[in-house]
Amino acid sequence: MALLTLALGVMAVTYAFLQVLLHFTQDAHEPPMVATTIPFVTPLLGMKKLKTTYLNYLRDKYSGPIFTLRVPFARLYVITTPSLITAVQRQYRTLSFSPMKIHAVTKLASPSKEAVKLLSHNLTGDEGFVPGFSKVVYPSLAGSMLDTLSQRTVNVMLAEFDKLAAQGSCTSRQFWRWTNDFITYASSEGIYGPHNPLRDGENLAAWHIYEAKQMALVTGRFPRWFASDAIKARDHLCKKYEHYFAEGWHKQGSDFIQRRYAYMSDYKIPPADIARIEVSGVFPLIGNTIPTAFWLAYHVLSSPIVLEDCRREVLQAVSERDGVCTIDAALIKNSCPILLSTFQEVFRFHGMATSVRVALEDHMLDGKYLIKKGGLVMISGRVQHSSVTNWGDDVNEFRHTRFIRSPGVKRHNPVAFRGFGGGTTLCPGRHFATTEVLLFATLLMLRFDVRLADGLKQWPMPVTNTSPHGSALDLPGDDFGVELVPRPQQNWRVAFPKVADDKTNFVAEDIPSL
């Protein structure tokens, strides 16, 4: 009895102490704090129970433009309205993403102290490694380098579809696994060339082990206990990638990988660390393309209406001469509004990415809300994409024509669409990923009739999981069989314009008038 009394007394004192600590360390000018039954602990329990919908729950409960979550050793400032998103993105030096990049690379790649020092140089300036890397490598992806890389990748896709069509009248596949393997192979072959490290089955198996636990490596404690298999797989891949670069095989790869390697070499990153950084960078190159391709194909093929709309539209981008059907890549991206709208709706409906910024000093956001130094500012794609205010009463429905402009219909706020992030966290490879996914869906529609296998009568909605490896989209937690039936045999090719003229404006930053 005495022990019970003592235990209850300790709990009461601890609870009182935490309440005092919580309220006395919360500044009156900070965004409103979420009420907690157990200080610092209640948010963690909410995250564990509701997972990716927890912030949606808080948004609906508190209905303010921003609120504060206090968790152990951290302040989380959660943005709920587009107006404050632009305010955050304007303060890219004070509210910086760079520390998050360094943290992620350090945890995922485990580079040497020398490399970390180089990576961390001048984080708040425009010439630091992380901002500089994006400026040096990625701008060309909006021009000829983008088309060259896209053409390489699409040529791999064309060859793989040829192989499928040559197998006969029907090929059975598990849809999610097939899409995953297909996009992984096409993307990595296009990037790395004929000596692609992921072409090797052992390396690919190691990649899947490493990929599955990337979030555990980034956010978890004691990774050598709880993610030892991922660390072993990563170390295996690092040796293979170091050998790839040492042999000069990247010179047979894309201009993209050649330029990226040259930049890191010029920056005096040690060869072993270049390999580690490259391995950690594979996921941003292909990881989110895979679920995007799956969900676009799923929503197109599972609805006769959507399939008819999109197939009729992409056929207008096909010309035939001497038995060769040529798909105009520019027309697919710029003149197929229904397909493009379906693509965007995939991001809105399944997107779950969260942009996080670190406050490098105290800052009064929008002149109203104090963001304390060290606090984390969070912009959740799921919060924005599920808002009735942003998207209307049918926000919980997948509507494939949602993004088509119609006379008299008010356009949605482009800032509320977080499919590719925004500001300094805007995905620099978005045009490459868009081209690959749209042409994957186009080729699948034009070359095959896809029907359900395993006795299924209707397309199942795969149960989604919580994306353990950090994907920006839901991942299907289960799989199902499909049969790929070749349409009438023809020769197919994809033509890219000689002069890049990309008019796809999916995000606010790409819209000239904004």
Residues forming the annotated binding site for heme? 427
Which residues fall in the annotated binding site? 427
121 Cβ contact list (under 8 Å, min separation 6): 128, 129
Query: CA–CA separation, 226 vs 310, rounded Å?
Result: 45
Structure tokens belonging to residue 403:
């993004």
Report the Cα–Cα distance between both ends of the chain, in Å, rounded.
69
Q: What are phi and psi of 236, to 5 degrees?
A: -60, -45
Q: List the beta bridge partners of residue 416.
A: none
Please give the Cα distance from 431 to 484 (Å, whole number): 28
Cα 31 to its chain centre, rounded Å, is 28
The conformation of residue 222, written as its DSSP 8-state character, comes to: -
The angle formed by the CA atoms of residues 311, 431 and 419, to the nearest 5 degrees, is 85
Question: Of the candidates 351, 245, 319, 339, which has an alpha carbon nearest to the alpha carbon of residue 491?
Answer: 319
Q: Are 447 and 488 in contact (CB under 8 A)?
A: no
User: Are 300 and 310 a contacting pair, CB within 8 Å?
Assistant: yes
Q: Residue 428 is which amino acid?
A: P
Listed in sequence order, the DSSP H helices in 289-415 are: 289-301, 304-315, 329-334, 337-350, 381-385, 388-391
What CA–CA distance (Å, rounded) separates 106 from 120? 10
Residue in the structure block whose two tokens are 């990638």? 241
